[in-house]
Structure 1
Amino acid sequence: MLHQPVNLPANQPKQFYRGGEAIAALRGGASADFGPEDWVASTTTLFGRSDAGLTTLPNGVLLRDAVAADPTGWLGADHVAKFGADTALLVKLLDAGQRLPVHCHPSNAFASAHLNCRHGKTEAWIVVGTTGADPTVYIGFKDEVPADVVADWVATQNTGAMLDALNPVCVRPGDTVFVPAGVPHAIGEGVFIVELQQPTDFSVTLEWQGFLDNADVGHLGLGYDLALDCVDRQGWGASLEKLVHQTSEKWAPSVDLLGADATPFFQADRLHVEGSLALEPSFAVLVVLEGSGQLGALEVHKGSTVVVPHAAGELGLTGDLVAIRCRPPVLSAVEDVSP
């Protein structure tokens, strides 16, 4: 099968929170109140759903099925040896039209032990736009919180205490936030990100009231007594520099946005093209933020989201543009956890 880069349409499964205007502005499409996430090159479904969230290629075939039919062509032999026909990556455009609830995600070990999955959900945010006077994200507890206190906050839905316990960080375009599994967090209204994550939809929602239909939706079917075991309760107030970085001043043909801590989970680079740039063979997702040009023979422009098969080989990215390139984990950095 001949593999070439493919332009993808928007893929916005309905969510429980508002947003989507920034996605529409970037892509040049229509907005939807509850379309705040565009799942790009997704082989992942919403939790508990059979097909919602999956990307359909322009030929009508699900990307998941195309990868399963030719994993080596899509992902490369080395990746397949480690992950099989699993892309090990989910990329989203996320536009928070309201503050998201306080929540966290399980680790690989927790997911393996309790959810029959090799992947937890470590994620990272690349801020590409903001609106409002004080665009803020909330990341990690300021100080260590005892397990019984977290359980009481969840049981009583003490939203004020949960938010007060988190580190508020005012963000601007170019900021990146690495969110290890377990670290409680929330994204504030007016923050627009390119999000990289492990390919699951596992969330433990500490603050469910006002967001979810009921508490049962928030604990992955495990019950909160068990689900809260995945929460990272340590204090991050003195070490936020490990999680939050500003990258807008970095200007090179390819800028590593996330660093070594992220490589067991994913990789992200901001590409600045003025003329041409050679890209090595890799499964990748490209999000074009500014300008226009070509990826190989494929025309791309602001708002294009492209999936690139490994078998496309070395490609030239030409034109005058800025893009985010997202790739799977660095294989040598991956720790094996079997479900």
Structure 2
Amino acid sequence: MSKQPIALPANQPKQFYRGGAAIATLRGEPGADYGPEDWVASTTTLFGQDEAGLTRLPDGRWLRDAVAADPVAWLGPEHVAEFGADTALLVKLLDAGQRLPVHCHPSNAFAAEHLACRHGKTEAWIVIGTTGDDPTAYLGFRQDVPADAIATWVSAQDSKAMLDALNPVSVKAGDTLFVPAGVPHAIGEGVFIVELQQPTDFSVTLEWQGFLPDPESWHLGLGQDTALECVERRVQHVQDLLTHTASRVAPSVNLLRAKADPFFQADRLHVSGHQSLVPSFAVLVVLEGEGTVGDTRLHKGSTVVVPHAAGEVVLTGDLVAVRCRPPRLGS
């Protein structure tokens, strides 16, 4: 396999909601309309699909197959010892052209018991741009909610009750929100994020009416009673989940708190001249500027996968990028 970082084209599988203009603008393709999500260096498929969502490398192989064929080179021996030939990471660019529905994701334990998968779907949102007067995310219940209340909201598709029960969070570029599995949430129109998540496409879509074409698909085939068991009904304190990083400038700015370590890592790199990176499987999203990583050219909008075998690669130039990595080993 090549030991060099690999630049990747857009990979935007069809979604049920609108968006994508901000992705096209970041990538320098302002006329493009490919969809609201770009799955970067993805070894994950859309729920129930065989190939949609997977990243294809320039040599024609699926990244998933390349990793399976040589996991140590791609991921490193310590990662393989803990996770096998599994990147344990999915990175997306997500541009909400409308408010997303209220939904949540299973935990590891729920996924193992009901979905035959070791991964649930804890995620984090790194806000890289916004539009509109009051860009807002919605995260976690404002107070404890009884199970029967949630069941009633879902059965009646009471969107107002569901949204009113959540914490509204005004966001701006540089904000990061950690979203534990089970916590109900929605992303508001005009919010553009780099999203890190566990590598699954499991969503329990509590607010499906007006969003999903198939009203039975909201519960992952588990039925309402079982699906609702994954909902975190306890109050969430936003100050424990929100981090402001816009004012921080350093060679590497950590974007996540320690509670994210078992799921993923992310930092914002500010490069002026050159900067060395420790060996790691990583995904880079360039937000500003231009330069190189190894022998690979970078510019605003570049998305790059870095194999562990690339070693201590050097970033050069004048640029800002988000670096996304798998879970911190042993965390």
Q: Alpha-carbon deviation of 1:28?
A: 1.3
- 1:94-109 counterparts in 2 under 5 A? 94-109=94-109
Corresponding letter in the other structure for 2:61 = V
- 1:1-339 counterparts in 2 under 5 A? 1-29=1-29, 35-236=35-236, 239-333=237-331
Corresponding letter in the other structure for 2:201 = D
Q: Alpha-carbon deviation of 1:245?
A: 1.2
Q: Alpha-carbon deviation of 1:215?
A: 2.4
Take 2:32 and 2:100, find their aligned partners in 1: how far apart are those partners? 17
Corresponding letter in the other structure for 1:250 = R
Take 2:29 and 2:62, find their aligned partners in 1: how far apart are those partners? 22
Take 2:32 and 2:199, find their aligned partners in 1: how far apart are those partners? 24
Aligned to 1:226, the other structure's residue is in SS state helix
Aligned to 2:16, the other structure's residue is in SS state coil
Q: Alpha-carbon deviation of 1:111?
A: 0.2
Take 2:31 and 2:98, find their aligned partners in 1: how far apart are those partners? 15
Corresponding letter in the other structure for 1:69 = A
Take 1:127 and 1:330, find their aligned partners in 2: how far apart are those partners? 22
Deviations 1:188-246 (A, max 9, x none): 0000000000000000000000000232110000001100000000012xx21110111
Corresponding letter in the other structure for 2:48 = G
Q: Alpha-carbon deviation of 1:296?
A: 1.1
Deviations 1:274-329 (A, max 9, x none): 11111000000000000000101111010000000000000110100000000000
- After TM superposition, the runs of 4+ consecutive aligned structure 1 residues lying more than 3 A away are 30-34
Aligned to 2:270, the other structure's residue is in SS state strand
Whether the 8 Å contact between 1:19 and 1:32 is mirrored in structure 2 is no
Return closer, same or farther for 1:146/1:32 CA change in 2, 3 Å cut-off. Answer: farther
TM-score under structure 1 length normalisation = 0.96
Take 2:317 and 2:11, find their aligned partners in 1: how far apart are those partners? 26
Residue equivalent to 1:337: none
Aligned length: 331
Return closer, same or farther for 1:295/1:85 CA change in 2, 3 Å cut-off. Answer: same
Take 1:50 and 1:330, find their aligned partners in 2: how far apart are those partners? 29
Corresponding letter in the other structure for 2:300 = K
Deviates more, 1:2-11 or 1:184-193: 2-11
Take 1:182 and 1:250, find their aligned partners in 2: how far apart are those partners? 30
Aligned to 2:317, the other structure's residue is in SS state strand
Whether the 8 Å contact between 2:24 and 2:33 is mirrored in structure 1 is no
Whether the 8 Å contact between 2:183 and 2:231 is mirrored in structure 1 is yes
Whether the 8 Å contact between 1:269 and 1:326 is mirrored in structure 2 is yes
Corresponding letter in the other structure for 1:14 = K
Aligned to 1:205, the other structure's residue is in SS state coil
Unmatched 5+ residue regions in structure 2?
none
Corresponding letter in the other structure for 1:323 = A
Corresponding letter in the other structure for 2:60 = G
Instruction: Give % identity.
Output: 73
TM-score under structure 2 length normalisation = 0.99
Take 1:106 and 1:33, find their aligned partners in 2: how far apart are those partners? 31
Aligned to 1:154, the other structure's residue is in SS state helix
Deviates more, 1:24-33 or 1:165-174: 24-33
Take 2:330 and 2:271, find their aligned partners in 1: how far apart are those partners? 29
Corresponding letter in the other structure for 2:27 = R
CA RMSD of the aligned region, Å? 0.9
